[in-house]
Copies of this chain bind each other. A is one copy, B any other.
Amino acid sequence: MDKWVYLNNNFVLEKQAGLHVNDLAIQRGYGLFDYLKTINNSPIFMEDHLERFYFSAEQLRLPVPISKSQLEIIIHELISRNGIPDSGIKLTLTGGYSPDGYNITQPNLIIAQHPLQLPTQEAVENGIKLITYEHQRQLPQVKTIDYLMAIWLQPLIKEKGADDVLYFFNDVVCECPRANFFIVTKEDKLVTPAQNILKGITRKKILENAGSFGLAVEERDIKIAELKTAKTAFICSTTKAILPVMQIDDIVFDKSDKEIIQSLNKNLEFLIADYPKQIAATG
Write the residues of chain A forming the contact surface with B, with a CB cutoff of 8 angstroms: 5, 7, 15, 17-21, 23-31, 60-61, 90, 92, 94-95, 100-104, 110, 112, 114, 117, 135, 138-139, 144-152, 154-155
Contact = CB atoms under 8 A, between A and B. Distances in A.
Given A103-B154, A139-B152, A152-B61, A147 B29 contact: yes
21 contacts: A17-B20, A18-B21, A21-B110, A24-B151, A25-B26, A25-B29, A27-B92, A29-B144, A29-B146, A61-B152, A100-B117, A101-B114, A102-B151, A102-B154, A103-B154, A104-B151, A104-B154, A135-B138, A138-B149, A139-B152, A146-B148
| 8 A-B pairs with least C-beta separation | A29-B29, A18-B18, A28-B147, A29-B145, A29-B146, A25-B26, A17-B21, A30-B151
Chain A contact residues, majority secondary structure? mixed
Contacts of A18: 18-21
Given A19-B26, A25-B29, 17 more contacts: A7-B21, A15-B20, A18-B19, A19-B21, A21-B110, A24-B151, A26-B26, A28-B148, A29-B29, A29-B148, A30-B147, A30-B152, A61-B155, A90-B101, A100-B117, A101-B114, A139-B149
A96 to B, nearest CB: 11
A275 B105 CA distance: 37
Number of copies: 2
A43 to B, nearest CB: 19
Nearest to A145: B29
B151 A28 contact: yes
A30 B61 contact: no
Contact of A150 (B28, B112, B145): B28
A30 to B, nearest CB: 5
B21 A92 contact: yes
A283 to B, nearest CB: 30
A84 B182 CA distance: 56
A95 B146 CA distance: 13
A92 B26 contact: yes
Contact of A148 (B15, B112, B144): B144
Among A26, A94, A139, max chain B CB count under 10 A is at A26
A102 B25 CA distance: 16
Nearest to A7: B21
Of A21, A24, A154, the most chain B CB neighbours within 10 A belong to A21
Nearest to A144: B148
Contacts of A21: 5, 7, 17-19, 92, 110, 112
A102 B148 CA distance: 10
